[in-house]
Amino acid sequence: MSAPIAHGGGITAAAAAFGGRPDDWLDLSTGINPCPVALPDIPARAWHRLPDRHLVDEARRAARDHYGSGEILPLPVPGTQSVIQLLPRLIEDDRIAVTDNKVAVTDKRIAVVSPTYGEYARAFASAGFAVDAVDDLAAIGSEHRLTVVVNPNNPDGRVWPTDTLIAAHDRMKAAGGLLVVDEAFGDTDPALSLASCAPQLSNLIIFRSFGKFFGLAGLRLGFAIAQDDILERFEDWLGPWAVSGPALSIAGSLLRSDVSPIRGRIDGRNAGLHAVLKGAGLQISGGTALFTLVADARAGDIYTHLCRHHILVRKFDYAPDWLRFGLTPDPAADRRLGEALQRFER
């Protein structure tokens, strides 16, 4: 398999290189809500027992109502990473007969609207697929057995209108292919979601992330929304009890709670971050409510400078001018970031 991708969250490695205790670092390298929601009560049996069917079913019903997926009960998965890794197997599984006028596509080729989250290309390349990094949905063709689009996109926040995505789905379906829409950062703007259209789109797979919005990334929980034949295959391949009992229990509670205060707090933190970045003269070139992308010719130097102040942000090998800033947890952290940026000598 290709080399691991450097993701956010690598505070241990950063502290080893630049000093300081990992806990004292300000980690802005992820897109996780820095103000975790209070944990609901977790019944003792969720820890004790193998996750029983009723726990799974309740989480699925709560996810259906929360995401608005109509008759589809989203499948809980141990982080969307777990199903990203199953996608190559899915399209090699000849039980997937996805269209009425199916075209025999023998080429192992897929498309990823890029730049974006790197694990899709890694998973497919590792399974022997040619991966076309396309810059627009208009570039996908009948040679692609699957297309991935992240909406809103990570790291630039690019947004795809529902009509454009449905048209892309229909093109993929006409050639017997699948469209994967990763809505990992979709919770702060639910109007973008294709979830309500999913029951009518047979060749669509939506991935949702639970941990980013709720600030509980350690849980390892995501949901897949697709037709039953696809979800059943994922469930089969993941095997029994793929998701932990506490994760299912927490999801069942939080997905039924009023999330507008969470959105409000995220928006407040986002405003704080934007003020700091603008105050430091940085140019905001994109992002979502949970992270902000900065374009700056001296991004590499700013990255290193911030590391010296024990602040970790994301840099990108493929775009050396970019830095991605996650939200700070509170105004004090905004000030800490602002002061560190002020000391950067331009």
Pairing type for strands 75-77 and 109-113 reads unpaired
Under 8 Å between Cβ of 195 and 69: yes
DSSP 8-state code for residue 4: P
* Residue from the set 20, 68, 78, 190 that interacts with a second copy by CB under 8 A: 78
Q: Report whether the peptide linkage leading into residue 261 is cis, meaning its omega lies within 30 degrees of zero.
A: no
**Exposed e or buried b per residue across 48-79, where buried means at least 16 C-beta atoms within 10 angstroms of its C-beta:** eeebeeebbebbbebbbebbebeebbbbbbbb
Alpha-carbon distance of 302 to 306, in angstroms, equals 6
Give yes or no for residue 161 binding a second copy (CB under 8 A). Answer: no
Give yes or no for residue 90 binding a second copy (CB under 8 A). Answer: no
Give yes or no for residue 62 binding a second copy (CB under 8 A). Answer: no
* Residue from the set 175, 216, 226, 312 that interacts with a second copy by CB under 8 A: 216
Rounded to 10 degrees, the C-alpha dihedral 69/119/188/43 comes to 70
Pairing type for strands 146-150 and 109-113 reads parallel
Closer to a second copy at the Cβ: 18 or 344? Answer: 18
Alpha-carbon distance of 200 to 140, in angstroms, equals 21
**Exposed e or buried b per residue across 182-208, where buried means at least 16 C-beta atoms within 10 angstroms of its C-beta:** bbbbbbbeeebbbbebbeebbbbbbbb
Q: How far is the CB of 248 from a second copy (least distance, A)?
A: 8
Give yes or no for residue 22 binding a second copy (CB under 8 A). Answer: yes
Give the range of 48-56, 59-67, 155-163, 283-291 binding a second copy by CB under 8 A: 48-56
* Residue from the set 70, 119, 143, 199 that interacts with a second copy by CB under 8 A: 119
Q: How far is the CB of 89 from a second copy (least distance, A)?
A: 10
Give yes or no for residue 39 binding a second copy (CB under 8 A). Answer: yes
Q: How far is the CB of 207 from a second copy (least distance, A)?
A: 14
Q: Would you call 183 helix, strand, or coil by DSSP?
A: coil
Give the range of 194-202, 235-243, 264-272, 288-296 binding a second copy by CB under 8 A: 235-243
Alpha-carbon distance of 194 to 122, in angstroms, equals 25
Alpha-carbon distance of 109 to 145, in angstroms, equals 6
Give yes or no for residue 128 binding a second copy (CB under 8 A). Answer: no
Give the range of 25-33, 142-150, 172-180, 337-345 binding a second copy by CB under 8 A: 25-33
Q: C-alpha distances in angstroms, 271 versus 43, 79, 292? A: 37, 28, 10
Q: How far is the CB of 184 from a second copy (least distance, A)?
A: 13
* Residue from the set 98, 137, 181, 217 that interacts with a second copy by CB under 8 A: 217
Give the range of 99-107, 180-188, 245-253, 313-321 binding a second copy by CB under 8 A: 245-253
Give yes or no for residue 20 binding a second copy (CB under 8 A). Answer: no
CA-based radius of gyration for the chain? 20
Q: CB-based burial of residue 82 (10 Å sphere; 0-12 exposed, 13-18 middle, 19+ buried)? A: middle
Q: How far is the CB of 52 from a second copy (least distance, A)?
A: 5
Give the range of 60-68, 171-179, 210-218, 305-313 binding a second copy by CB under 8 A: 210-218
Give yes or no for residue 32 binding a second copy (CB under 8 A). Answer: yes
Tell me how many residues contact a second copy (CB under 8 A).
Answer: 52
Give yes or no for residue 251 binding a second copy (CB under 8 A). Answer: no
Q: C-alpha distances in angstroms, 248 versus 32, 77, 255? A: 19, 10, 10
Q: How far is the CB of 23 from a second copy (least distance, A)?
A: 8
Where on the chain is the footprint of a second copy (CB under 8 A)? 1, 4, 7-13, 22-23, 27, 30, 32, 36, 39, 44-54, 78-79, 81-82, 84-85, 119, 211, 215-220, 236-237, 239-247
